[in-house]
Amino acid sequence: PITPGELLCLGSSLAFSGLFYYLYRRKARVMARIQEAPKLQVDDDLPALVSAAEGRCLPYVALEGIVLPAQAALTSHYHEGLQGVIQKLLLKEHRLIWNSLARSW
């Protein structure tokens, strides 16, 4: 005979397994889209291609080319000779709302 506690454990295990499988499949689809992204060169044709795209946006595109730093290139402390640049830094502040029930922001 199966006890109600065992049924509860089995049901919750199946529910969690289904939830995690759903999340895995959703992330796998996103990864497949990223891996199939077209590779474009950074050249003079890129602005015309972006402006011709729907919504002036190219989702999941891999850009290849040489970039120049605005000031100085970042050098790695751990790998000698490795340099990089930051293309764009975005800072987004979220509005805080006081939750009187939890007494927190």
- pLDDT tens figures, 36-49: 888 888 888 888 98
The whole-number pLDDT of residue 38 equals: 87
Which residues are registered as beta bridge partners of 11?
A: none
The whole-number pLDDT of residue 28 equals: 96
| Length of the chain in terms of residues written | 105
The whole-number pLDDT of residue 42 equals: 84
Q: Which parts of the chain register pLDDT below 70?
A: 88-91, 94
* Alpha-carbon span 20 to 14, nearest angstrom: 10
Which residues are registered as beta bridge partners of 84?
A: 74
Whole-angstrom CA distances from 11 to 8, 19, 54 are 5, 12, 45
Whole-angstrom CA distances from 51 to 5, 6, 47, 48 are 60, 59, 6, 5
